[in-house]
Amino acid sequence: MIIEVKKTALMAMAIGLSVLACSSGDSDPTPEVPIERVETNVSFGDPFILLHEGTYYAYGTSADDGIGVLISQDLLTWEAVPGNRLALHKNDSWGGRWFWAPEVYQVDGKFYMYYSADEHICVATSDSPLGPFRQAVKKPMLEGEKCIDNSLFIDDDGKPYLFFDRFNDGLNIWVAELEDDLMTIRMETLEKCINVSQPWEEVWPRVNEGPYVMQHNGKYYMTYSANSYESPFYGIGYATADQVTGPWTKYEGNPILQKPGDLVGVGHSAMFTDKAGQLRIVFHSHYSETAIHPRYMNISTVNFVEKEGEVVMHIDKGYVTPVLLQ
């Protein structure tokens, strides 16, 4: 499944004034010049979308030297910021490689980016969703331990929690409370959430990763991905809990998204509410059935439906693959 590159010609009117030495002062307009723009799929792994003041911002794993950001008004077409500026540059971060899985949240007027660098979880801040994001103190949130995929959740009582992956028994998902600075982990509150435990997760290798937590009608829902991101059987499942710290119970009908349509390797998702109030999910897929990179960003719709007397999360198997205008 190699996506064709499409071209869209957008016309721009340029009016120039030419004043000739011997002229009477009349000006001649220059002819219309077509500006050709190329559409390609959005090459973001581990994508995350933030809606802020009517504009969508997408962040993802894409650059060797930091975290990229794109902007959109309609979720379908995206553009880079002028100069293709990164939201976070490695010079403003701890670690100099492997910038993965960014998530951005606005809290009390400040924007917090949670991400991984050199297989350690980090957080940086900015006054704008475009960045530049910077670490005030250049160190990981957990020094001395490799962790990835950190995700913020703030409960109804205002208490902040951090979900993330630890490298013990493969990759598994943990939660801990944060201090009010949203940067400091309260280590004494660490609790294990989930690990590989369902047959569909055991294709290759032991991975539960990419947590994202939301609340619906008083119940907590955690989406996660299983199997290696390199596997075509990478997919999305979810677990539920009555308390944010667990215990978490996986949905017996998992996976809820795996190889939809002609996509393979789908996973590392996050959710957001669009301008119309609809809950959406963003996730990446492999480039094709035979090539992993570059991974593409895809968007679908999430609903909660009743099934056999139980309210379950449902991801629409229809999806859109947005394009980047260049």
Q: Which residue has the tokens 């071209």?
A: 7
Local structure of 82: helix, strand or coil: helix
Burial class (CB in 10 A: 0-12, 13-18, 19+), 12: exposed
List the catalytic residue out of 149, 209, 230, 289. 209
Question: Which amino acid belongs to residue 152?
Answer: L
Active site includes 209?
yes
4, 36, 46, 201: the active-site residue: 46
Q: Running DSSP on this structure, what letter comes out for residue 168?
A: S
**DSSP-derived 3-state class of residue 65:** coil
User: Which residue type does 257 have?
Assistant: L
Find out whether 270 and 259 touch, Cβ atoms under 8 Å.
Answer: no
Contact of 147 with 121, CB cutoff 8 Å = yes
Say how many residues make up the chain: 326
Q: Catalytic annotation on 46? A: yes
Cβ contacts of 114 within 8 Å, gap of 6 or more: 102, 103, 104, 105, 121, 122, 123, 150, 151, 152, 162
- Positions annotated as catalytic residues are 46, 209
